[in-house]
């Protein structure tokens, strides 16, 4: 308990009035940043050995830690795009690294990511394939996301669901089977960079 008393004493003796005031309610969070809606939680750091960064929907009643990015009001469409191989190609190309692991950034990776302009049919298809990913995960209720997204042990149902989602997302970008962007990750990134350049020029 002495450590809490020490922290309280440091806070109450602070020269900043705001810090002294917050010391009066030490049981409360310093800042309240929880989402008002259910949200997609995306880890800040994830193993480079994963083909997909594991992310999930969380209830608004769950307070995210500082190692998660929160995407509020996200739909199945958003989930499908973010958990696709297109978004992963962009992430691998532009994200930072912690040792060799992915270090995701909301400013560099997410904010600069060029989203597609899908038709209603394409958007509905992505929503369907995104739900299929969640359904495949639900088949393994005792497995963590870390277990499910281990490349050596990923369940076949989940892998197939991701592959179908990848195809749906590529279609929304116009990356058909006869395009280099469909066949090669480097070509996919090159096309995304062109899209980003157009967006940047129109800002």
pTM of the model: 0.83
Looking at per-residue pLDDT, the higher value among 83 and 203 belongs to 83
Residue 4 has pLDDT above 50, yes or no: no
Residue 64 has what pLDDT?
A: 77
Instruction: Identify the burial level of 102 via C-beta atoms within 10 angstroms of its C-beta, where 0-12 means exposed, 13-18 middle and 19 or more buried.
Output: buried
Same domain, 96 and 163: yes
Domain that holds residue 128: 39-201
pLDDT band at 12 (very low <50, low <70, confident <90, very high): low
Strands (E) located in 21-108: 39-43, 45-46, 56-58, 68-72, 96-98, 101-103
Tokens of 168: 């749906």
Segment 41-65 mean pLDDT: 89
pLDDT tens-digit readout, 109-132: 999 999 999 999 999 999 999 999
Count of domains in the chain? 2
> Shortest CA distance to 129 belongs to which of 181, 93, 86, 187?
86
Q: Name residues whose C-beta falls within 8 Å of residue 80's C-beta, 6 or more positions apart in sequence.
A: 126, 127, 129, 130, 133, 165, 168, 169
Same domain, 20 and 78: no
Same domain, 50 and 132: yes
Same domain, 3 and 77: no
Same domain, 127 and 195: yes
Residue 2 has pLDDT above 70, yes or no: no
Same domain, 8 and 108: no
Residue 6 has what pLDDT?
A: 43
Residue 145 has pLDDT above 90, yes or no: yes
């Amino acid at each position: 308990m002495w450590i809490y008393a020490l922290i309280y004493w440091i806070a109450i003796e602070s020269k900043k009035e705001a810090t002294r005031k917050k010391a009066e309610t030490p049981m409360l969070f310093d800042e309240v940043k929880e989402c008002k809606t259910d949200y997609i939680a995306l880890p800040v750091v994830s193993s480079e050995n994963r083909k997909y960064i594991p992310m999930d929907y969380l209830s608004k009643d769950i307070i995210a830690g500082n190692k998660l990015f929160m995407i509020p009001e996200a739909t199945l469409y958003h989930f499908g795009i973010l958990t696709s191989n297109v978004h992963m190609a962009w992430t691998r190309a532009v994200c930072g690294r912690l040792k060799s692991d992915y270090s995701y950034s909301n400013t560099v990776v997410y904010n600069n990511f060029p989203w597609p302009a899908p038709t209603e049919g394409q958007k509905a298809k992505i929503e369907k394939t995104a739900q299929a990913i969640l359904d495949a995960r639900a088949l393994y209720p005792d497995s963590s996301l870390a277990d499910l997204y281990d490349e050596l042990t990923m369940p076949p149902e989940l892998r197939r669901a991701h592959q179908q989602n990848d195809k749906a997302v590529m279609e929304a970008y116009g990356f058909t089977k006869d395009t280099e962007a469909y066949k090669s990750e480097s070509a996919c990134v090159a096309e995304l960079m062109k899209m980003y350049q157009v967006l940047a020029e129109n800002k």
